[in-house]
Structure 1
């Protein structure tokens, strides 16, 4: 019996699985881009060399001046030329060029920071061991400058890569292995989140008679025994094995042996939901790899540091934005179609389910809450959240404020009061919380945030389930580095005004 997948126009043989011919043009385009990861690492190495040279040259000029004629200056000229090579070597020792640490996540940036600390420590040890009199000012300028500039350069270089991913270029060419429903779900999720760089070009399903055709499946290349041949036919460079009982430890080991000949990446998708890598550790027990999952950091000294960072940051931002706040308040009070108070107060639910009063610049007409029932059936989002892309209650000034999230600035006062954090889950309304299932209440164990993963991942364009998943991801995997990364991404999200309405 043969059936045709209507979504991919790929023939699927269910009684006697055989490899099928891929006809999708996008899939062929994906398969025509091999070797880009090696070129990416090479260009990254060239960027690091340039960063090292700029940092060491700047340190030479700032420490000794442009017209210095000191007799030992030639030694520092030599050090200036050797510094970029030392910087690259330290980065390589910290595995900052390995593909598994590049492209996504914060691991790459953490390794750059560790490289900077390690280089300072190494220079100090060498200076002491060989009695070298290195100018401390030179070292204290060169290494921190190289670290900061390299972080910025790598971030910009990664953003260029993410833009090419969004255009369907230089993606990892992925074959999914698993059951139809799991394959369809993973395909939908990865295609929705293009910043991961995983392009699904096909799948291998279990052998045996198939049931109803599952919507959303990529092209099917055969069954679990055909994975290696599917990789060769499609030009894939990555195989992702989803959780399924048919692929046990022995079968997975045999698959790894088949793929290692062509250096194909093998990824085993864990059943853990939204748990970051730094919370998991592989611990071998009698030859069996046991995955140890640490509890999320919800208390302790790190949270005290976060609270101090939140309040200090809110105070600084309020001070710097005071003139802007005054201008916006004036526009809101006397703007066309929306005369009235500048600040809108609304009760929201905070940490541990405690209510608090949230402050925002008013973006709607004064009687907006009274008009909500007549607009309820026009909701543009699913779930408990109510949003309209063209809400008639929004004033002209309010549209501008929402586009660039300026209406959120008064929430800095909430952060100073301790009701909110700079980064955290979206502050929900009481009626939203009333509809939460038990596991969704997990997002209430931390303070809500002025910004968060939901803010930098699409804001109102996200579905209800997706926004909740992002909030839970933040709660489970919080770190100060994640907060800093989200704050940096917030600037870009606000400038693009993506999902703002």
Structure 2
């Protein structure tokens, strides 16, 4: 990834802002290159899968009536690429951005399967049903990992301070500071706050917020964008921002090429629950109720059952090896059973590999004074109760593998909030109890975001975010990231 061109920096001399005026936003050479690379990768994946599937099916003498194989392959590629285009899969605002990129990709591929199926049914092509249900999933199995692999060098470059979009933030001092700290903690999202505007401009020479220069007042935003070449104007909460002023700012930014992003100050919802609609000429942000039932939940349950069964079969040799290692290391049972609280507050018994000495629960009372856990959690980085084999198992989360039996039985899910102990859930505040609206998970946002290194407040926020904004695409992304978090061993003890 080549480093982006830096926006023009402001120089303040004797209270006067001097700039090298530009009429267009900064153009980053990596952006079109990355987008065209993603488009090319999707097309190549589609063509390769279609051609390979055609070769395999034709070798088994499968025919498609009057339509030749080459014609069917061409139509399939055209429909898949067309569906991806219509679903705005290659929009630069979602490329490399969280689960939304994968959500759109999944929606585009699903739409192409529906279109192919209906077309084949209308044409009465023999063998078309097998073709559709082989080619569609095969493309997804290739396209999703390729998209993720394309992200890796981009995110690595952003971690090094490259390939970032210059942002001009405008809002209350506290909310701007929060935005700056968030963008620095998550550089892979691609934002870098280069300048700030405040209501009064803080015109004194050299004033900065979190090391970022304050360059002007709110009423100078559009002019600052034209001078500095910023790509994003991030508007954070401030009493100044009335609907009329936001509308005027949007008009003023027209033609600058900068994207205006407004923080929803009244709520902390995101993802599929948010919908922007217009009623009687008024733009309204509609928040739908969290979905805990319906078709998507049926799909999630099916994935849990099938996925846990396949993983148990695949990992059987590993499970056996771990069991032998535990028996050799210390005397006692191989499995450790513990009561946890599940969906709707119903208790269940969780199954794990034993990683501590057999009287660990009795010894916990003596260690409460040196508890290093966050909030209601009990954690110690160097817990004397953990065995030698247990330390290895915990580092790579292998002690959690027997919980696949809980997933198969239906008391847990592959992805969800962390299953709490009864004494923990008894101390939950009413808002924290929303974690119990869904099944607890073998992994979750907490697993891929720091695990035991997280503060209690951050752990709760992540779990509540999952409950509120759950989607199949988010589940898939969490499962994918879990492998990296587990193999890296970050935050596990």
SS in 2 for 1:438: coil
Q: How many residues in Structure 1 have an aligned counterpart in Structure 2?
A: 475
Aligned: 1:240 with 2:240: no
Residues 60 and 76 in structure 1, CA contact (< 8 A), matched pair in contact too:
yes
Question: Which position in structure 1 is the counterpart of 2:194?
Answer: 201
CA RMSD of aligned residues (A): 3.6
Q: Which moved more, 1:390-399 or 1:286-295?
A: 390-399
Question: Is residue 368 of structure 1 aligned with residue 360 of structure 2?
Answer: yes
Distance change in 2, residues 1:134/1:201 (3 Å)? farther
Q: Distance in 2 between matches of 1:369 and 1:132?
A: 66
Verify the 8 A CA contact 1:187 1:217 in the aligned structure 2. Answer: no
CA apart distance, 1:389? 2.5
Shift in Å, 1:394:
2.1
Is 1:20–1:222's contact at 8 Å kept on the other side of the alignment?
Answer: no
DSSP-derived class of the 1:358 partner: strand
Q: 1:347-377: per-residue Cα shift (whole Å, max 9, x none)? A: 3222233333322212122333344345444
Counterpart residue number, 2:350: 358
Partners in 1 of 2:149 and 2:399 — Cα distance?
29
For residue 41 of structure 2, what is the aligned residue in structure 1? 47
Question: What is the aligned counterpart of 2:83 among 80, 90, 96?
Answer: 90
2:125 aligned with 1:157: no
Match in the other structure for 1:4: none
Do the aligned residues in 1 keep the contact of 2:304 with 2:407 (CA within 8 Å)?
yes
1:280 matched to 2:269: no
The 1:235–1:390 alpha-carbon spacing in structure 2 relative to 1, beyond 3 Å, is farther
CA distances 1:62-105 after superposition (whole Å, capped 9, x unpaired) = 23349x9x9x9996457657865664343222211112332223
| Contact 1:184 1:218 (8 Å CA) reproduced | no
Cα distance change on mapping 1:56 and 1:339 into 2, 3 Å: same
Note if contact 1:165-1:194 (Cα within 8 Å) is conserved in structure 2. yes
Deviation of 1:124 (Å): 6.3
Other-structure match for 1:318: 312
The 1:313–1:150 alpha-carbon spacing in structure 2 relative to 1, beyond 3 Å, is: closer
Seen in structure 2, the aligned counterparts of structure 1 residues 427 and 124 have a Cα distance that, compared at 3 Å, is: closer
Alpha-carbon distance, 1:199 to partner: 1.9
2:126 equivalent to 1:166: no
Unpaired segments of 5 or more residues in structure 2? 1-9, 20-24
Q: Structure 2: how far apart are the matches of 1:430 and 1:181?
A: 38
Q: Find the counterpart in structure 1 of residue 338 from structure 2.
A: 346
Match of 1:102 in 2: 95
2:6 aligns with none
In structure 2, the residue matched to 1:26 is none
Q: 2:28 maps to which residue?
A: 34
How far residue 476 of structure 1 moved from its aligned partner, in angstroms, is 0.9
Matched residues in 2 for 1:372 and 1:280: separation? 44
Residue 462 of structure 1 corresponds to 454
* Alignment of 1:398 onto 2:390: yes
1:339 is paired with a residue whose SS is coil
Summarize deviations over 1:233-279 as a string: whole Å, max 9, x none. Answer: 54421111112221112211222223221211111111254423321
Cα distance, 1:495 vs structure 2:
1.9
Q: CA deviation at 1:194?
A: 3.1
CA contact (8 A) 1:17 1:222 kept: no
Query: What does the per-residue CA deviation read over 1:440-467, in whole Å, with 9 as the maximum and x for residues that have no partner?
Result: 1211222221111111122112221111
